[in-house]
Structure formats: structure tokens, C-alpha cells
Amino acid sequence: MDTPSTIIGLVPLAIFVLPILYLIVQQNNKQKQGLKNLKNIGNKNNLRLEKTEVSSNLLLGLDSEAHKLLVVEPVNNMQHRVVDLRKVSRSTVNAVAFPNNQKLIKRVSLDLLNSTGKMDIVFYDDDDDNDNHNAAERLAVAKKWNQLIRPKLSA
């Protein structure tokens, strides 16, 4: 009587737990693949990335010695930019709210100002269909990266 009861209990448990474990493994594999892609692009550009950030729509890497920031956009066919932070005069985190509701964030970006103009690194955009991140979380990440790169900017 104990064996059938155990089997009856384990089958529903497995039905609920196995898909969750599968999703966790898939997410970890995506994170590892993103980090691998970031490191490969960094190596091709002769960068030693000490700090990295991997998300579904943005990969960031910072080379503190060379004062360079690597920005990779996986959603745009792995397009990448190498930003020389010595040429950037100012960085600010920009959070744009919805016009009809100031409490909700529509877009989060890290704006870098240099002599040639402004470049923005988009951390969150409500218009992106594939973005499954929360705006407050992405705002915190943008602030963290602003703090990381600010000491590397030109004085």
C-alpha cells in the first residue's frame, strides 16, 4: 500500500517540478552563452573585461585598464560598440515615464555625452516585445553601471 501511494504522490510532483527545472536550466544556458559571446567579442577587440552584465537585450563589459566599455545588442544580430570612456565627458541615467502615469517607467537608458554627441545605452524600453525585465530592476542596473564607469570618464 505504501508503494502505490508514494508513486501517486511523486507523479504529480514530477509533473510540476520538471518543467520548472527545465526552465531554470534553459535560462542558465542562455546566460552562459551570452557571457561567452561577450568575452569572445571582447577578445576580438583586445579587451580584458573585468565587469560584465548579461541580460536578454544587452550585454555589457568593462575593461578598467583600457577605460573602455563594450556594449553588445543580442537582439540586433550581436551588433557591438566599443566606447572609449576617456572621450566621454558625462554619464547620466535617464528614466522616462509614461506621459499619463508618471509612476510607470517607459524607458531606461545610460546616456554618455562626448564631443561628437550623445550615445545612449538602452537598458529597458517598454516598446520592446521580447523584454521580460522589470523596469525598476533595469533602472537599478543602469545606476550600478553609471557608478562603475563614472570614475573612468575624462575629467
How confident is the model over 50-85, as pLDDT tens digits? 999 888 889 999 998 999 999 998 888 888 999 898
Closest by CA to 131, choosing from 75, 52, 77, is 75
Mean pLDDT for 136-154 is: 89
Mean pLDDT for 133-154 is: 87
Mean pLDDT for 128-147 is: 80
Distance CA 86, CA 97 (A): 31
Looking at residue 9, its pLDDT comes to: 86
Task: Identify which has the larger pLDDT, 129 or 79.
Answer: 79
Is the separation of the CB atoms in 131 and 57 below 8 Å?
Answer: yes
Mean pLDDT for 85-111 is: 87
Q: Is the pLDDT of residue 132 over 60?
A: no
Quote the pTM value.
Answer: 0.80
Looking at residue 46, its pLDDT comes to: 92
Distance CA 84, CA 154 (A): 10
- pLDDT tier for residue 10 given thresholds of 50, 70 and 90: confident
Q: Is the pLDDT of residue 155 over 80?
A: no
90 DSSP β-pair partners: 113
